[in-house]
Structure 1
Amino acid sequence: MKSKDNASETLAKGLKILDLFGVSDAGYTLNQIAGRVGINKTSVYRYVNTYCELGYLQRDERTRLYKLGVRSLALGHAMLENSEIVRLVKPLVDEAHERHNVHVDVGIVSGDAIYLIYRRESKYTTAFRSFSYASDLYYLATGKAAMAYMEPEELRQLVERLELHPKTDKTITDKQELLEELRRVTELGYSYNNEESVPGLIAIGAPLYSLRTNKVIGGVSFDSATDTHTMKEFERLYSTYLVELAKKISAVVSL
């Protein structure tokens, strides 16, 4: 176990607040932030006020919602532009996108969320934003692919922590049903998202592994609009290519 003697508890609380904003584009009120991160409202106010002054957050005066500020967005963009993992993943994803004309997302798991690190859109999916800065794992093809191949105890603890809120009327909100679907994912070798995150958007996902640790670290997905492909057709046409791409990405990633 790592020692916490040299860690800053104050900084950790502040970063926990910032981390919350990666998971939703909608924004949060002060009360919502305090409730979600488990920090009292007075302390949360000091944190978010400081972040607003520095440009990491911004407050909508009409809705009173706090959202990511320009400085956070610029920092995130700079990190991705200079990231070694993005440099390695990019040519593989670009090749798959050009060859199959599909939307491709690559995400890395951290904590209980999956973080988008690289995307190539197709002309059929430009209107969709199902996977933003970071998203919960259970309603995305990338997230479910990663969950299905986690160590059993790691998965059990994750599912216990999850709050399964519906994104659409097709989102899985029952934990036992989710576990059953994850079992089917391991049989197929890929996951699927049948309009569970956004109406009109389907996806299939495959797990990414670190060959250094032999553990799942994320997922890659192909996405399509429902007016372009049915779910079954999309699986039949692209699942083999997706699994091959996942293996190629895993071979160059060393997290």
Structure 2
Amino acid sequence: MRYCAAREAEVDKKGKTSETLAKGLAILDLLGVEDAGYTLGEIAARVGISKTSAHRYVNTFCAQGHLARDPRSGLYRLGVRTVALALAVTERNELVRVVKPLADDAAKRHGLHVDVGILANDSIFLIYRKDSPDTRAFRSFSYASALHYLAAGKAAMAFLDPGPLRELVGRLDLVGKTERTITDRETLLAELALVRELGYARNNEESLPGLIAIGAPLFSLRTGAVIGAVSFDSSTATYSMKAFEDQFAGYLVELAKKLSAVVSL
């Protein structure tokens, strides 16, 4: 409690957020994306802080149970307290409660992996997943991932207004995940124009070899703004990209409309 109270003093009079707190949360974000874990040096480098600062953060998180350190490898991973918190949110969150029946029904009906994500802070945040036997061998995106190599990310991005979209594409670090990932900004903008024309996006092994997906945008019925996306995933061992798209794109777009009707953001 003393730690939190001290950091609250860093919020300035204009109401800006605490940079110190943001860096601590960035560590949790980082550890949530990678199951293999990170060393202290890797955490410091990726978050952009000194090793001394990183040491203070991870020691605090470990003491509270939010992180755990493997004594043999020295790698840090999410701790049991963070896992328990995530489970509590999943079970009790109103947004998850209204999304779950529709996603579960689609997964059962079509035998597919279904992801539902919300757009925020230049990322797509997973709020619900129903996986399938076809995709369990893959490491799918988690609660915060880059937008440009995901069907859900591209579907959400494509329906932003033109000005904010160009600004967002300019900010993104277009890292290549596979040889098929789009890493050129103008090529990405052209791809997003096609997404708007089709009404859905494609991920043809752009995030992981062997994994394909299609994504459709979710809209706020109150404002009309894009708020997220839903995606269907499968493997190239089961479908070609074209066959997957031809068979399921229509169902996906209809599911997106149903989800938009129940998600109140």
Partner amino acid, structure 1, of 2:57: Y
Measured in 2, the distance between the counterparts of 1:27 and 1:158 equals 29
Measured in 2, the distance between the counterparts of 1:25 and 1:165 equals 19
Shift of 1:3: 6.6
- What is the aligned partner in structure 2 of residue 187 from structure 1? 197
- What is the aligned partner in structure 2 of residue 240 from structure 1? 250
Q: Structure 1 segments of 4 or more deviating over 4 A?
A: 6-9
Aligned length: 254
Alignment of 1:7-86 (within 5 A): 7-86=17-96
Shift of 1:250: 0.5
Does 2:140 align with 1:143? Answer: no
- Identify the range of structure 1 (89-98 vs 243-252) with the bigger mean alpha-carbon deviation: 89-98
Q: 2:235 aligns with which of 215, 225, 242?
A: 225
Task: Identify the structure with bigger relative contact order (alpha carbons < 8 Å, sequence gap 6+).
Answer: 1
Measured in 1, the distance between the counterparts of 2:260 and 2:86 equals 23
Q: Structure 1 pair 107/5, CA: closer, same or farther in 2 (3 Å)?
A: closer
Shift of 1:9: 4.3
Shift of 1:109: 1.7
Shift of 1:6: 7.6
SS at 1:134 equivalent: coil
- Identify the range of structure 1 (10-19 vs 190-199) with the bigger mean alpha-carbon deviation: 10-19
Q: 2:122 aligns with which of 112, 117, 121?
A: 112
Partner amino acid, structure 2, of 1:248: K
Using the aligned pairs only, state the percent identity. Answer: 65
- Can you give the 5+ residue segments of structure 2 that lack an aligned partner in the other structure? 1-11
| TM-score (ref. length: structure 1) | 0.92
Measured in 2, the distance between the counterparts of 1:44 and 1:213 equals 40
Measured in 2, the distance between the counterparts of 1:21 and 1:46 equals 16
- What is the aligned partner in structure 1 of residue 142 from structure 2? 132
Q: 1:159 aligns with which of 152, 169, 179?
A: 169
Aligned 8 A contact 2:218 2:229 in 1: yes
- What is the aligned partner in structure 2 of residue 198 from structure 1? 208
Aligned 8 A contact 2:29 2:144 in 1: no
Measured in 1, the distance between the counterparts of 2:223 and 2:46 equals 32
Shift of 1:19: 2.5
The superposition leaves residues 215-248 of structure 1 with CA deviations (integer Å, 9 ceiling, x where unpaired) of 1111100111111111111111010110000010
Measured in 2, the distance between the counterparts of 1:29 and 1:212 equals 44
Measured in 1, the distance between the counterparts of 2:165 and 2:30 equals 21
- Can you give the 5+ residue segments of structure 1 that lack an aligned partner in the other structure? none
